[in-house]
Structure formats: C-alpha cells, structure tokens
Amino acid sequence: MALRSQSKGGQTPWKLEELKAGLEAFHKNYGHYPTGPEVDRYGYLPSARSVERRFGGMVALRKKLSLGGQDDYRTGTHSSERARTIGKRAHVIEREVYDFLWKRFGRELVHREYFFTDDARTRADFFVYDSEGGFCVDVFYPSDRRNLAGCLNNKLQKYTSERMREYPVIFLQMNPSIAQSVIDELLSKKTSRLFGGQETMGWESFEAFCMSRKPRKLT
C-alpha cells in the first residue's frame, strides 16, 4: 500500500478498502485498532480530522468496515486497562517527586494534596514551604507533544482564580522524552498564556528550580 495523504487540494478520496487495509496493518503491528491521535502518527492512513469529516470519527469508521474487536476505546476493557496503567504510573511518579522534595526541603515542609479552597477539585499535588514563602507543584505525564498541549489547556482552566495564584505554581511534566525546548516552543505559540508565577518544566529544569530555592529553617 503506497504512503499518501489527502490534502485540502481535493486529491482522490481514500477508498474504503484502502482504509481497511491501513487499519488492519496497524492492528497487525500494534495489537489494536488506532485511536484518533494514533491515526495522525501513522503514515498509511489519512488524518483523524479527514476521517471525522467523512465518516464521523474513528468509531463510526470501524463500525462501517465491520472490523472485529472493540469499536470505542474510550470505554470498556481498553479504557479500564489504560486507566489502571495511568493510575499506577501516577502513583510512582508522585512518589518520586515527593521523595526528591522532602530530601531537599525537609519532610515537615512538603505537603501532599494542598487544597486551595474547600472544593476538593482545587488542589495541587504538593505545596512546599521554603525561605521565600513556598510554591505549588502540579505533576502530570503527557504521552506526547499534542497531549502536553491539551493537559496545559486543562490546567490553565483550573488555575484561574487569584486564590490559586498566591504562590508560584510549577506544572511539572514527567515524560522524559519531551525536552524543555519542546515545552518552551509550545508555550511560545500558545494563544492562552500562563499567568504570572506559573511555569511549565521538565524534570531537569525542576531540579534546578528547587536547588535555587533555599529551604526554610525550622524554629
């Protein structure tokens, strides 16, 4: 099957048999049919946006082609397994961040799940007291650059009130394959900017930030 893409210039639309062949090739290689983001990264299929315009999305296309397996990966077994994987990874990552913070600033001065208000949704993963007052850390693990952009958009909607901006907030992304230069480039192109006192960092930048902050002396 030749590698090609469909542009706005009106190239010949992908035929159903070509789409089916591309989906089956993906399934053979990866053990499941692709989600929207996976389609965009796979050279033997059109863009997810093209599929959305023509068929109403990947779920509708899989149903139209009568492909076996689960149609909607947002629900059911695939979704449950993904949720368990994410949950385990989040626990390990937060523990890693917590161990680093208390070794740097002292166990008594690192608070997990810092609540800004009585609303349990308005919380940061950590609040650290230091000689300059303190700072918040919100930890996340984006799967790729595209997911990073989506995560940041969600966090910007969350951290809007002045109450949640009394202290510096570090959005700490923990995917080692996403370099700080990628983060900085993404931020420079975003139309919705971070508020003052908010920064997005990878692990190495976060380590440097923490080393630049002096631990608070306990009396």
CB of 80 within 8 A of CB of 86?
no
Who has greater pLDDT, 36 or 205?
Answer: 205
pLDDT tops 60 at residue 72: no
Q: What pLDDT does residue 80 have?
A: 56
Q: Within the chain, how many helices (H) and strands (E) appear? A: 8, 5
Q: What pLDDT does residue 151 have?
A: 84
Q: Which residues contact 152 (CB under 8 A, 6 or more apart)?
A: 171, 186, 187, 190, 200
pLDDT tops 90 at residue 24: no
Mean pLDDT of 201-210: 96
Q: What pLDDT does residue 25 have?
A: 83
- Rounded to the nearest integer, the mean pLDDT of the chain is 80
Query: Helices in 159-219 by DSSP H: which ranges?
Result: 180-189, 203-212
DSSP-derived pairing of the beta strands 135-140 and 169-173: parallel
| Residue 204's pLDDT band (cuts 50, 70, 90) | very high
pLDDT tops 90 at residue 202: yes
Q: What pLDDT does residue 10 have?
A: 46
Q: Order of strands, edge to edge, in the sheet holding 110-115?
A: 110-115, 123-128, 135-140, 169-173, 198-201
HSE value, Cβ hemisphere, 13 Å, CA-based, for 181: 0
Beta strands in 51-118 (DSSP E): 110-115
Q: Where are the domains of the chain?
A: 16-64, 83-212
Percentage of residues of the chain with pLDDT beyond 70: 79
One-letter amino acid at 153 equals N
- Give the separation between CA 51 and CA 157, rounded to whole angstroms: 29
Q: Which residues contact 47 (CB under 8 A, 6 or more apart)?
A: 5, 6, 39, 40
| Residue 117's pLDDT band (cuts 50, 70, 90) | low
Which of 5-14, 33-42, 104-113, 158-167 is most confident? 104-113
pLDDT tops 60 at residue 147: yes
| Residue 113's pLDDT band (cuts 50, 70, 90) | confident
Quick one: residue 197, left, alpha or beta (phi over 0 = left, psi -120 to 50 = alpha)?
Answer: left
| Residue 99's pLDDT band (cuts 50, 70, 90) | very high
